[in-house]
Amino acid sequence: MKAYSIDLRERVIKAVEAGKQSQAEVAATFGIGLRTVEGWWQRWQTTHSVVALPHGGGPARVLAASEAVLRAALKAQPDATLGELCAQVAEAQGLVVSPSMMCRELQRLKLPRKKRRSTTARATRRG
């Protein structure tokens, strides 16, 4: 979700400063939540700024340092399963990761996994 514009934030603060409407009425006027108005007002009183704070970024990727290990493992064995890759990373770096985390990391690194068929195709089908 994108941050509200600075222009909107400034208009809301001016409306609250004017004191003609309650914060709930200001929120209804501008079509935003009461908690949003309260947060902006508290921030304005303490910092005199209405600019949005930068995004926190989320948690750090556990497998970020394992890129070289993954690339080498897939180069050596392109049809390795997610479980096998998890075991190789655990052995090489001591990280315990789930197959779903491994899948997301491979997608992030744009590393395809080539699969071999485990069985041969039937020549004729019955049906």
- Cα gap 59→31, rounded to integer Å: 32
pTM of structure: 0.52
Q: Answer for the pair 70, 89: CB distance below 8 angstroms, yes or no.
A: yes
Q: State percent of the chain over pLDDT 90.
A: 58
Q: Is 77 helix (H, G, I), strand (E, B) or coil?
A: coil
pLDDT exceeds cutoff 70 at 13: yes
- Cα gap 104→66, rounded to integer Å: 13
Instruction: State both tokens at 37.
Output: 């108005």
Q: How far is CA 65 from the centre of its chain?
A: 18
- Cα gap 106→88, rounded to integer Å: 14
Instruction: State both tokens at 54.
Output: 């930068």
User: What digits encode the pLDDT tens for the residues 47-93?
Assistant: 999 998 888 888 888 898 889 999 998 889 888 899 999 999 999 99
At position 44, the amino acid (one-letter code) is: W
